[in-house]
């Protein structure tokens, strides 16, 4: 999300909150017994809750169903999810230029390390789907390389 898009989103949200506050004040002119201002206050209270829920949906949470049954690999996967969530946070909030790129570089390095470790473990255990899984790793690395190039070109 670009800085301009973030700015527009925050401006619209601020405008909505300001409009609701003005309507609450005007609503109380109808009398304290009138339901309109109280409904608007409830909406104002719900805005941060709804906003937090929308933001939380952007993050990946570890589920036991993701487990491969090997603790070291599961721990790697948990760390990768954590790094992805850090990248998501850095891209959502306005940060100085180097933050997202630093997290992205760390993520790529750790992913390469993890793939190497996972492939070595698969070889040791004579994993039957090794070749197919290795091809998946190669495809992911190719996709990530493309993503990084796009990020470096346009910064999003």
Residues 68 and 142 in one domain: yes
Compute, in degrees rounded to 10, the torsion defined by CA atoms 108, 109, 115, 116.
160
Residues 76 and 48 in one domain: no
Residues 86 and 21 in one domain: no
1 pLDDT above the threshold of 60: no
pLDDT digits (tens, 9 = 90+) for 8-34: 878 898 999 999 999 999 999 999 999
Q: What is the pLDDT of residue 152?
A: 76
Residues 83 and 18 in one domain: no
Q: What is the DSSP string of 65-99?
A: GG--S-HHHHHHHHHHHHHHHHHHHHHHS---HHH
pLDDT digits (tens, 9 = 90+) for 87-138: 888 877 766 667 878 888 898 899 999 999 999 999 999 999 999 999 999 9
Residues 36 and 77 in one domain: no
| Interatomic CA distance for residues 150 and 62, integer angstroms | 28
What rounded mean pLDDT belongs to the chain? 88
59 DSSP assignment = S
| Interatomic CA distance for residues 125 and 81, integer angstroms | 25
pLDDT digits (tens, 9 = 90+) for 55-79: 888 899 999 999 999 999 999 999 9
Entry pTM: 0.69
Question: Residue 108 is part of a domain; what is its CATH number?
Answer: 1.20.120.50
Convert 13-40 into a string of H (helix), E (strand) and C (coil). Answer: HHHHHHHHHHHHHHHHCCCCCCHHHHHH
* Residue numbers of the domain that contains 17: 3-56
Residues 148 and 129 in one domain: yes
Residues 143 and 70 in one domain: yes
């Amino acid at each position: 999300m670009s800085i301009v898009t973030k700015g527009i989103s925050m401006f619209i949200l601020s405008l909505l909150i300001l409009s609701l506050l003005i309507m609450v004040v005007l609503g109380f002119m109808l009398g304290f017994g009138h339901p309109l201002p109280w409904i608007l206050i409830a909406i104002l209270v719900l805005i941060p809750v709804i906003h937090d829920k929308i933001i939380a949906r952007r993050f990946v949470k570890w589920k036991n169903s993701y487990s491969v049954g090997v603790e070291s690999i599961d721990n790697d996967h948990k760390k990768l999810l954590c790094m992805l969530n850090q990248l998501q946070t850095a891209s959502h909030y306005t940060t100085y230029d180097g933050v997202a790129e630093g997290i992205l570089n760390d993520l790529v390095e750790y992913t390469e390390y993890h793939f190497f470790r996972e492939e070595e473990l698969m070889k040791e255990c004579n994993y039957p789907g090794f070749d197919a899984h290795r091809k998946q790793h190669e495809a992911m690395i190719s996709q990530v390389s493309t993503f990084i190039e796009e990020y470096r070109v346009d910064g999003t």
